[in-house]
Structure 1
Amino acid sequence: MLEFISHPAAHVVAMKAGGVVTARELQSAIDAIEAAKKEHPRISMVVEFDDMRWMTLTALLKDIGYGLTQLGDLGHYYRAAVITDKEWIKHIAHLEERLFKVVEIRTFPKREHAAAMAWAGELPKGAHEDPEEDGYHGA
């Protein structure tokens, strides 16, 4: 299961994952990320893991494929907050941070949910929510 959760910052795509994530749910997340990228020069993400077991094979392949297509477009991404108490998820997040150095990825325990949401909502120093103020004119 993958569901969207609200976040006060418009440039943040926030979701909660639990159980088994399907390809259809993952596609909804990809669509939300792509829509946010069209509206904002830099986006951040929050993913809260709640007893997630894994993804279906189709979802896993879609996730890997989408990730690979994003390698040339990492400048759109700013931060990713991963909220979890599961050690295996923390290890994957730390590996991804080393692989995708332009994106700041930080893990937070569930008890620090509010801190994770606040951290993800911050923009880079000097950045503004108005894309025109940053000289951004779309992809």
Structure 2
Amino acid sequence: MLDLISHPADHVVAMKAGGVVTAHELQRAIDAIEVAKRAHPKVSLVVEIDALRFMTLTALLRDIGYGLTQLGDLEHYHRAAVVTDQEWVKQLAHLEERLFKAVEIRTFPKRDHVAAMAWAGELAKGDHESPEEDGYHGA
């Protein structure tokens, strides 16, 4: 199961995964990420993982394929909050943080879900300001 969950910030795509993730569920998450990337210069993610067992083979292949397409597009990502109490997921997130230095990845225990949502919603100054908001009004 992989479901999108709401987040108050438009630039954040939040989801919850557990049990078995299917390719259809994964595609909904990918589509949400792509919509956010078209609307915002920087996108953050919140992924809450609870008792994740595995992905179907089709979902795994789609996840790997999408991940590979994103390697040249990491400048569109700001932060990724991984909310889990599963140790293997935490270790995987730490490995990804070392591999993909352009994206700030942090793990949070499930009890700190609210803190993870707040952290993902924070923006570096200027990341989502329109030219009018930062005082620039054109040439």
Q: Does the alignment reach a TM-score above 0.5?
A: yes
Q: How many residues align?
A: 135
CA RMSD of aligned residues (A): 1.6
User: How has the CA–CA distance of structure 1 residues 132 and 34 changed in structure 2, closer, same or farther, with 3 Å as cutoff?
Assistant: farther
In structure 1, what is the equivalent of residue 84 of structure 2?
A: 84
Measure how far apart 1:128 and its partner are.
2.8
Contact 2:40 2:128 in 1 (8 A): no
Return the alpha-carbon distance in structure 1 between the equivalents of residues 62 and 131 of structure 2: 29
Q: Which runs of no fewer than 5 residues in structure 1 stay unpaired?
A: none
User: How has the CA–CA distance of structure 1 residues 15 and 130 changed in structure 2, closer, same or farther, with 3 Å as cutoff?
Assistant: farther
Where 1:128 maps in the other structure, the secondary structure is coil
In structure 2, what is the equivalent of residue 124 of structure 1?
A: 124
**Identity, % of aligned positions:** 78
Q: Which runs of no fewer than 5 residues in structure 2 stay unpaired?
A: none
In structure 2, what is the equivalent of residue 45 of structure 1?
A: 45
Residues 91-113 of structure 1: per-residue CA shift (max 9 Å, x gap)? 11011111111000000000101
Runs ≥4 residues deviating over 2 A = 125-135
Larger radius of gyration: 2
Q: 1:1-139 residue pairs with structure 2 within 5 A?
A: 1-130=1-130
Contact 1:37 1:43 in 2 (8 A): yes
Residues 49-91 of structure 1: per-residue CA shift (max 9 Å, x gap)? 1111111111111101100000111000000000000000001
Contact 1:40 1:129 in 2 (8 A): no
Match of 1:127, as an amino acid? D
User: How has the CA–CA distance of structure 1 residues 131 and 100 changed in structure 2, closer, same or farther, with 3 Å as cutoff?
Assistant: farther
Match of 2:123, as an amino acid? L
User: How has the CA–CA distance of structure 1 residues 41 and 57 changed in structure 2, closer, same or farther, with 3 Å as cutoff?
Assistant: same
